Amino acid sequence: MGAPPNTLQQANKVVVAFLDSRRMKGYIYDFSPMKDVFNLLPAEHPLQEHGIKVAMKDLKAVFFVRDFAGKSASQEKSHVESHAHGRKIEVTFLDGEKILGRTEGYNPQKPGFFMFPEEPDSNNLRIFVISKNARQVRFV
């Protein structure tokens, strides 16, 4: 794993969604879709903490976000006409949560894939879904 960043300009702001329904907010600097583990620096005092190791096997998804406050579900539009690239996809997780977006790289044989929100002003910039922890992935 790489060294922790000296500034947050080198890190991505994320919300990590665990299989057990927990959500943790923080910063990551060493994320790779091909690695089994990454370090999460807590949202509060990220540069004074060592961070915690997060295993991909324990996650539903990693949400790369604009800010930690986000938008409530009622503020996010579910049917927006988009000019985004990729195929429209719906992911249903084991707990029933569904997310909708677009992807250019879904392959069920790979550990996961990135998807992008339909809504251009969504708080989510991109989402990395862990393939084996999704109940259903379908193109819509």
* Domain annotation covers residue 3: no
E strand segments, 1-140: 12-18, 23-28, 37-42, 52-55, 59-65, 87-93, 98-103, 112-115, 124-130, 134-139
Q: Is the pLDDT of residue 62 over 90?
A: yes
Asked whether the predicted pLDDT for residue 72 surpasses 70, the reply is no
Residue type, 75: Q
Does residue 119 lie within any of the structural domains? Answer: yes
pTM of the model: 0.87
Q: What pLDDT score does 74 carry?
A: 44
Three-class SS state of 131: helix
Range of the domain at 55: 8-140
Q: Which stretch of 9-23, 34-48, 77-91 has the lowest confidence by average pLDDT?
A: 77-91
Tokens found for residue 110 = 């790979």
Number of domains, the chain: 1
Q: Let me know if residue 1 belongs to a domain.
A: no
